[in-house]
Amino acid sequence: MQLTGAEIIIECLKEQGVDTVFGYPGGAILNVYDALYKYRDEIHHVLTSHEQGAAHAADGYARATGKVGVCMATSGPGATNLVTGIATAYMDSVPVVAITANVGKPLLGKDSFQEVDIAGIVMPITKHSYIVKDITKLADTIRKAFYIAKSGRPGPVLVDVTKDVTGALYDYSPRRPATVNRETSEIHRENVEQAVNMICKAQKPFIFVGGGSVISGASEEIAELSHRIQAPVCDSLMGKGGFSGEDPYYTGMLGMHGTKTSNLGVSQCDLLIVLGARFSDRVTGNAKTFANKAKILQIDIDAAEINKNVLVDAYIEGDIKEVLRRLLEEIPEKKHPQWMEHIQEMKAKYPLNYDHTQLTGPYIIEKLYELTDGDAIITTDVGQHQMWAAQYYKYKEPRTFLSSGGLGTMGFGLGAAIGAKMGRPEKTVVNIAGDGCFRMNMNEIATAVRCGKPLVQIVLNNHVLGMVRQWQTLFYDHRYSHTVLNDAVDFVKISEGMGAKAIRVTKMEEVESALKEALSSDGPVVLDCWIDQDLSVFPMVPAGANIDDVFDEEDMKNEQSV
């Protein structure tokens, strides 16, 4: 059957099971949007307010569902506006296919209107990028893009198609998507035996869960391993939900804003089992001293991550779920009562704590957790609110905490929340942002209203760039250079102007009723929550310090009183 290139693109999306795409039209991609009009009953297109919002929405859709997210943009600035979202997905191993259209082939390389080499621009931040200038290669390229995006360690792929290809005619034959199997070829028997031996000998084991565990879907195996060998579990920001935050063996996040129990426990353990984590500097602090009393066993699908940031004593390369399944076949039950008693004592001694006399981010997030029973999908932007969301909401399941970890993208959360809601409409979806981040993406409130689905946007509004200001307080002698947002921006009026319901919250006693109203609404609701500008995120490890140098507000007060 003969179809235009644009129709072939849509048919290939249908082959891959795509039901939703996020994008913004323009001249070069008009043929594709014309095809979308014809296929509007089969593929739902979400028109975002900005192309970056489309990239973040595709990312959020992928993180929430485990499927490939798809975004579209036209040539030139449309394509370049996707770049930050593509980089965000790349850093956090999220499967996204970005489809852009370029000028016609005869106009390439001539500085034509809205011409840019987007395939070249995104090369360092994609698993692969293509430019299709020949319609005979179009369908196979789209198919390859989806396979690459979701195979092995997932990530974004960009396909740029010249406008003449989208308008040309060519024979199209449907094809079933290639099967993506779990990576098992590098799971070697001797490596498994070495790991089993290390686990059996350990007296103080600790498990560290990273984002790869969530991607692999290994939460059941991690829980079984933890309880079988009596090993406490901590996680990275990306690993949230890979092990239930309600499990008594859970000790909290590890690293710069990790709990004292996790940071001290990892520093004291004799075996650290690392599952799908890349040893980010935000986790390790001083990499040379990280877990230096322990043997380290790293399990990861990506060989490039082995011994990259931290030297390990043993490793297994392969899909985490499959590796753990094989390990569990051979690991006997192990009891470590003294170790577990020590961990529980630390949890009791060093709980997360905050000021209960005033309205704070942690209070709002704890109340949100209570009212949603921990069953919501939480998205965040980047900063203090992100850390509080990681610390004070207990994530019971994978794919319920969506946040920009590697790139740290302000403006990520609202687009991601829209994508998550489109992918999992049955779930309550809440985006938590600071006022600095909300300024970067609040135009997507109009998108959320247009989608007509309930969604809650919480703005923790301290009228400053909170995390940067916290560093200025601690390390820059209170020199608040350009971090105070002392202007007249009114988020309630702005949100109402875009069609959303909006509520301002300034007191603790207003929080519960405002959250209940927002959570029961049938459309988007923005809560503008005013908190003090001097609130800080604790515990904290200074950049580059040892993770057992972790301190909190009480430690600072004690030091100042000496």
- The string of DSSP letters for 396-464 reads -STTSEE---SS--TT-HHHHHHHHHHH-TTS-EEEEEEHHHHHHHTTHHHHHHHHT--EEEEEEE-SB
Among the listed residues 69, 70, 2, 11, the one whose alpha carbon sits nearest the alpha carbon of residue 36: 11
Active site residue 51: yes
Active site residue 113: yes
For residue 262, the SS3 value is: helix
CA quadruple 29, 34, 37, 42: dihedral positive or negative?
negative
Segments in 66-101 forming alpha helices (H): 77-80, 83-91
Asked if residue 213 lies in contact with residue 226, where contact means CB atoms within 8 angstroms, the answer is no
- Annotated catalytic residue: which of 127, 150, 163, 321? 163
- Annotated catalytic residue: which of 38, 42, 113, 123? 113
- The string of DSSP letters for 113-131 reads TT---HHHHTGGGSSEEEE
* Separation CA 309–CA 269 (nearest Å): 19
Residue given tokens 């965040």 in the structure block: 380
Q: What are 472's two structure tokens?
A: 């200025």
The residues, ordered by sequence, that sit 6+ positions from 250 with a Cβ below 8 Å of its Cβ are 232, 233, 234, 235, 243, 244
Report the alpha-carbon angle 175-179-181, nearest 5. Answer: 170
Active site residue 114: yes
* Separation CA 398–CA 209 (nearest Å): 11
The residues, ordered by sequence, that sit 6+ positions from 75 with a Cβ below 8 Å of its Cβ are 26, 27, 28, 29, 100, 101, 102, 103, 114, 115, 116, 118, 163
- Annotated catalytic residue: which of 114, 194, 230, 268? 114
The residues, ordered by sequence, that sit 6+ positions from 324 with a Cβ below 8 Å of its Cβ are 218, 221, 222, 224, 225, 275, 299
- Exposure string of 2-15, with b = 16+ CB inside 10 Å and e = fewer, is ebbbbbbbbbbbeb
Stated as kind and residue range, the H or E segment containing 100 is strand 96-102
Q: What are 560's two structure tokens?
A: 């100042």
* Separation CA 96–CA 62 (nearest Å): 7
Active site residue 338: no
Among the listed residues 54, 16, 52, 17, the one whose alpha carbon sits nearest the alpha carbon of residue 33: 54
For residue 227, the SS3 value is: helix
- Annotated catalytic residue: which of 198, 467, 498, 540? 467
- Annotated catalytic residue: which of 51, 115, 221, 317? 51
**Cα separation values, 448 from 22, 109, 454, 498, Å:** 12, 38, 8, 9
Q: What are 81's two structure tokens?
A: 């506006």
Active site residue 467: yes
The residues, ordered by sequence, that sit 6+ positions from 280 with a Cβ below 8 Å of its Cβ are 236, 255, 309, 405, 406
* Separation CA 491–CA 503 (nearest Å): 9
* Separation CA 285–CA 551 (nearest Å): 13
| Catalytic residue annotation | 51, 113-114, 163, 467
